Structure 1
């Protein structure tokens, strides 16, 4: 850690330039603003949006218009505290809430800042200039983003806090799940984390679905009672779930979610489908009086996740399947794109090769 000595003027980072153009290169660190701390980043989890920027030059309607440092699922240690005295002291291990809510032309519920039209996110090309992420050895971050970690929460597991907060928010959109049957469509990292959150929340039976063996193994490890292959349509329909979490991000997955929901059930859509019209079994949703609920990012759930990790009630470590040093960052992205063989892939940004 750089505490007690001068910080470097630049730091190695993962930078997306365009579709297929991902580079590991030094970027200027710059001087932190008075309310910014310098974070020595320890781990970063590769998210689906990071993969989309690399593979397609865009994540949904957020299109790269210039180079951008990727990464918003990060944890690290405060190397230099904010000069204005806000936030945690140097040496504190922290997780990061990557959102900056902001007003805009459209109205939104004040108690749901994740829906604010002017919201920005680390590693997002939604606006230009882009909001750089923090897949970097060091990053200057506003102290309001930082959440101190309890001593018994190790940094490696803490790298899952951001996506686990997305899953926690999605499960929360369904209301009380205790004693109910839950179905999770798509058992990638968000789906598997949703399984873990459902387990902690007291769901009586959890069925996880995916097209590949590895994600289903992870789902079982974090609390699923039954796993099904995505093409087992009859078995999915027989689940008759009170609550369905759709995390595949495909219209096929959404169809399975509607088929697998019980009459009067709730379908929470957390997987982000491509922009534009999508085929949906809407007539079945209507005649079954299903509630289709959107779920986008999270708000204060990050604090609940940290608390649940600290008290041992949230079991998520098996979601991590691979770890690579920053020097093998390009290889890490190749592994992360293979959802049949990987769960959450971490970058060790301290420079340790794995």
Structure 2
């Protein structure tokens, strides 16, 4: 028996999105059919939309974007007992092999055979969630409590990146944390640090409005506007990085200088930010590498090694969804109001190109910050 036919938003080239009909395969015993209701646009989606590539990863066939999504189960396979039609779910869209050593260790996010919806890394591409419905393994559909909205359900995916970074950092309560980058992921990392009991969270960005937003909405305790310098020579770059690190150390919270930090969540991928992270971190500290930037960077590595500052890679997430959903349902007073991140909303699949155009902006035509653009299907 054939599966349903659905409308899908399909990228054929840079900024060339078309609405098309797509036939889904029949539902397997362990799968469910989910009507996609809310999708947040991510930076990787934006790269594919604007350039038909994401860094070195080229799109090689028509691709449906979208992976930060939640929806409603409309049909379940014969073997599914954990979900039923009408359930609200957050979609974990990475599908690992489940057989390799990494999967066995629970590190399925770095499975070599991972197929991730909306990524062009594997061929054939795993189609994303910007379509009316998707068929997905029930195992990777996480039930949402009814008091957690579908919008927040879509935020579970990027919040999982922050949760995974927190799990990898293993910071003790009372730590001092610096976050480079006040976009959605940086703000979510700051929020998770607050929830984990950080004593002080400092956030830094080149955009003053973004760091102001972070402090005013309780994502961070203090902010730094990184100067817009672009030194060329290596010695000048490292000197600038030291200057930025000193700005961090001298920043005051409740009348006391922050000093060296215990950890940095580096969410920009910008070389100068990673250099400054090394200089700003105290002995025995950690730098969480979250932002995807230039793959080749010049770093003051001895400054890290001599003080045993660990550089820790963070790639997506593993085993985070249940904990993140529980956090969203808990009404934890340390968690900022995440709904304020969702600054712009577009309804209907025909408006997806407009949503991408807005996601590329720092501010809209009225001067309002653009943080997370949501698409209501």
TM-score of the aligned structures, taking structure 1 as reference length? 0.90
* Structure 2 equivalent of residue 345 of structure 1: 373
* Structure 1 equivalent of residue 230 of structure 2: none
Structure 2 counterparts to residues 211-230 of structure 1, below 5 A? 211-220=206-215, 221-230=217-226
CA distance in 2, matches of 1:38, 1:104: 25
Asked if 1:318 corresponds to 2:314, the answer is: no
Which has the higher mean CA deviation after the structures are superposed, 254-263 or 307-316? 254-263
* Structure 1 equivalent of residue 68 of structure 2: 73
Asked if 1:293 corresponds to 2:288, the answer is: no
Q: 1:259 aligns with which of 279, 300, 303?
A: 279
CA distance in 2, matches of 1:190, 1:56: 21
Between Structure 1 and Structure 2, how many residues are aligned? 342
* Structure 1 equivalent of residue 179 of structure 2: 184
- Please state whether the residue corresponding to 1:159 is helix, strand or coil: helix
Query: Is residue 214–residue 342 contact of structure 1 (8 Å, CA) maintained in 2?
Result: no
* Structure 2 equivalent of residue 166 of structure 1: 161
Question: Unpaired segments of 5 or more residues in structure 1?
Answer: 1-6, 350-354
- Please state whether the residue corresponding to 1:278 is helix, strand or coil: coil
* Change in CA separation of 1:322 and 1:8 when aligned onto 2, cut-off 3 Å: farther
* Structure 2 equivalent of residue 308 of structure 1: 327
* Structure 2 equivalent of residue 20 of structure 1: 15
- Please state whether the residue corresponding to 2:163 is helix, strand or coil: helix
CA distance in 2, matches of 1:260, 1:240: 5
* Structure 1 equivalent of residue 58 of structure 2: 63
Q: Report the RMSD for the aligned CA atoms in angstroms.
A: 2.2
Structure 2 counterparts to residues 1-354 of structure 1, below 5 A? 9-102=4-97, 110-220=105-215, 221-231=217-227, 233=244, 234-238=246-250, 239-275=259-295, 277-313=296-332, 314-315=335-336, 316-325=338-347, 326-339=349-362, 341-349=369-377
CA distance in 1, matches of 2:266, 2:151: 27
* Change in CA separation of 1:320 and 1:222 when aligned onto 2, cut-off 3 Å: farther
- Please state whether the residue corresponding to 1:69 is helix, strand or coil: coil
Shift of 1:54: 1.1
Query: Is residue 98–residue 104 contact of structure 2 (8 Å, CA) maintained in 1?
Result: no
Shift of 1:257: 1.6
Which has the higher mean CA deviation after the structures are superposed, 241-250 or 83-92? 83-92
* Change in CA separation of 1:249 and 1:204 when aligned onto 2, cut-off 3 Å: same
Shift of 1:24: 3.4
Query: Is residue 117–residue 126 contact of structure 2 (8 Å, CA) maintained in 1?
Result: yes
* Structure 2 equivalent of residue 4 of structure 1: none
CA distance in 1, matches of 2:74, 2:103: 36
- Please state whether the residue corresponding to 2:160 is helix, strand or coil: helix
CA distance in 2, matches of 1:161, 1:107: 23
CA displacement, residues 197-234 of structure 1 (integer Å, 9 cap, x when unaligned): 01111000000011113422442214200011122723
TM-score of the aligned structures, taking structure 2 as reference length? 0.85
* Change in CA separation of 1:150 and 1:104 when aligned onto 2, cut-off 3 Å: closer
CA distance in 2, matches of 1:108, 1:35: 19
* Change in CA separation of 1:306 and 1:105 when aligned onto 2, cut-off 3 Å: closer
Query: Is residue 106–residue 318 contact of structure 2 (8 Å, CA) maintained in 1?
Result: no
CA distance in 1, matches of 2:103, 2:297: 25
- Please state whether the residue corresponding to 1:132 is helix, strand or coil: coil
